[in-house]
Amino acid sequence: FHMGDKKTRQRDTSGPEEIPSATDPNDETQWSSISGYSAPVRCVVNGRRWANASYSYTYQHVYEFFDFQAALPAQDDHFDVPTNTYCYGEVNRKPLPNMPPAYSFNAELVDTNAKTIEFIREFYDNKTQLMRYDYRAPAISMDPFGTRYA
């Protein structure tokens, strides 16, 4: 509820209670972080999962984020596996899946030396022994003297 410039909330038994405005920096009951005020974020996911061809069940997952930040950290390697990371003696516990006779995928190619990012799509058809590779050529510009720049 809003009453003038003060915010109020309804309690079950004793009527409205005044609470300070969200902009009051001296209020120790408000949620805050070093970067400023934060609000908890809840994500509720409802769905149906098929365990096999004849049995399914519904689910509800609730995720609570108490310090949600809308942007990722500035470093671009935040989710990368660290360089030279591998497991000695790691055994693959699952066999590779059987590939379908035809499939396709999208990929992102990052060239850190040339500072370029390209997107490709590849198609494979084992029955006809054909392959297709779709890509966009890098942008090329040309000055009035005929010099090309990639």
| DSSP assignments along 57-124, one per residue | EEEEEEEEETT--SS--S-TTTTSPPTT---TT----SPPPPPPSEEEEEEEEEETTTTEEEEEEEEE
Does 86 score more than 90 pLDDT?
A: no
Q: According to the model, what pLDDT value does residue 83 have? A: 74
Q: According to the model, what pLDDT value does residue 12 have? A: 43
Triad 97, 103, 118: Cα angle to 5°: 110
Q: According to the model, what pLDDT value does residue 2 have? A: 37
Does 85 score more than 70 pLDDT?
A: yes
Q: According to the model, what pLDDT value does residue 18 have? A: 47
